[in-house]
């Protein structure tokens, strides 16, 4: 199943064109000792069988947000962290986000979903913590109903 999710995420990243690291084509931010990879996209982009396996609701008005945290060392080791946060639309309405951890072998993902309307823009602010290390990830995403 891990291969399916990774393939879907790579496909989505290639279509979004939003990258923070133009050399590798990845969408991530370097925060402290971490490389925080993130993506937000319509839940209908994933296949029904993959959605079912991960407990993701597929709906034209529901986004899937995926975050993974890697160490900045050569091995890029996946990190177990606590993630919390919110998404705020342009009117200032906040929606709390609750992440679910998915562990598959050496990979660790944090998934959550967000309801939206066509052309909604959300600003995400995520608090990532591991022991005494604390970082904040901020990004913005515009969503379209497909």
- pLDDT-derived band of residue 17, with 50, 70 and 90 as boundaries? very low
Contact 98, 110 (CB under 8 A): no
- pLDDT-derived band of residue 8, with 50, 70 and 90 as boundaries? low
pLDDT at 25 over 60: no
Dihedral angle sign, alpha carbons of residues 15, 4, 26, 66: positive
Residues 6+ apart with CB under 8 A from 90: 121
Segment 28-63, tens digit of pLDDT: 999 999 999 999 999 999 999 999 999 999 999 999
- pLDDT-derived band of residue 19, with 50, 70 and 90 as boundaries? very low
**The pLDDT of residue 46:** 94
Quick one: average pLDDT of 5-33?
57
pLDDT at 146 over 60: yes
**The pLDDT of residue 11:** 43
Domains of the chain: residue spans and CATH:
2-142 (2.60.40.3340)
Segment 114-131, tens digit of pLDDT: 999 999 999 999 999 999
- pLDDT-derived band of residue 80, with 50, 70 and 90 as boundaries? very high
* Distances 46 to 31, 40, 117, 121 between C-alpha atoms, Å: 28, 12, 19, 21
**Rounded mean pLDDT of the chain?**
87
**The pLDDT of residue 23:** 39
């Amino acid at each position: 199943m891990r291969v399916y999710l990774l393939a879907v995420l790579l496909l989505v990243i290639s279509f979004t064109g939003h990258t923070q690291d133009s050399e590798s084509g990845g969408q991530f931010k370097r925060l402290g000792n971490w490389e925080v990879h993130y993506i937000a996209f319509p839940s209908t982009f994933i296949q029904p069988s993959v959605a079912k396996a991960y407990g993701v609701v597929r709906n034209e008005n529901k986004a899937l947000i995926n975050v993974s945290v890697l160490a900045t060392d050569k091995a890029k080791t996946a990190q177990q962290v606590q993630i919390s946060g919110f998404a705020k639309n342009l009117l200032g309405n906040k929606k709390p986000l609750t992440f679910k951890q998915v562990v598959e072998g050496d990979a660790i993902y944090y998934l959550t979903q967000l309801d939206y309307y066509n052309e909604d823009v959300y600003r995400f602010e995520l608090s990532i913590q591991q022991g005494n290390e604390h970082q904040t990830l901020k990004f913005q995403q515009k969503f379209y109903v497909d």
